[in-house]
Amino acid sequence: MNDLKMGKMILPEMNAIKKFFLDMLPVVLGVLLALLINNLNESLKEQRKINKIKTHIIAEIANNYNACKEFVEEQEKRNVFFQEYRDSLDVFSERGYSFRQMPYRGLRTLSISQTAWDAAQYSGVLSSIDFDGLQGYTAIYQRQQFLLDLHKQIVSNIYSQDMYNPVLLKSTFYHIQQLNDDYMAFARSLMLNYEYYLQEYIKMQ
């Protein structure tokens, strides 16, 4: 009898608890669904940001490739000077000429950029790019910076005091020629790097 009474007392409480959970279920599911949608949106937003950064980097690499190609083609024409005047150094030296008085056309300006790469670094997105892609981008921009540093080195040599010293004509000539040869070899290798990453990007599309 007591058990029956107790059962009748517990039953309403069980029903209340059941009703509570049934009422709470849509709320919990709604919260979980909202969190899921929010996480999905954040993930999509992050992916769009990554894709945008990659697109800018690839566009920059394409522009740098074209600029580097134009530079190499023009500079090769200018560097014919070294072949044409190598055998005439004694004549120029006897006349008391300095390197500055020879018809060297100098170094063409190289216009390559790393604005997109700098923006990517400051954006904090790089940590989300796949390792292989990040490694490739880092390597190509490091090589690009080395090329720019080499460019500055040649320019500083071209405008050094040695250029005006007739006694140093031959040594200056061969020094500038060597710098130019190293520079052109590196510029060509950088062009191949640019070309490789552009082709890889096209394959992924």
Domain membership flag for residue 39? no
Of all helices (H) and strands (E), which one includes residue 39? helix 2-78
pLDDT value of residue 11: 55
pLDDT above 90 covers a percentage of the chain that reads 7
- Dihedral (CA of 81, 82, 83, 85) sign: positive
Domain membership flag for residue 150? yes
What average pLDDT does the structure give for the chain? 81
- Domain coverage including residue 93: 54-204
Domain membership flag for residue 9? no
Which conformational region is residue 58 in: left (phi greater than 0), alpha (psi within -120 to 50 degrees), or beta?
A: alpha
Return all residues near 106 (Cβ < 8 A) that are at least 6 apart: 78, 158
CA distance 53 to 49: 6
Confidence of residue 4 (pLDDT cuts 50, 70, 90): very low
| Residue 114 pLDDT exceeds 70 | yes
The count of domains in the chain is 1
| Residue 70 pLDDT exceeds 70 | yes
Matching residue, tokens 């670094």: 121
CB 146 within 8 A of CB 186: yes
Domain membership flag for residue 2? no
CA distance 104 to 100: 8
- Cα dihedral: 45, 51, 55, 56 (round 10): 50
Domain membership flag for residue 1? no
Domain membership flag for residue 139? yes
pLDDT value of residue 2: 47
Q: Does residue 131 sit in helix, strand or coil?
A: helix
More confident residue, 34 or 102: 102
Domain membership flag for residue 167? yes
Q: Please write the tens of the pLDDT for every residue from 179-201.
A: 888 888 888 988 988 888 888 77
pTM of the model: 0.72
Domain membership flag for residue 69? yes
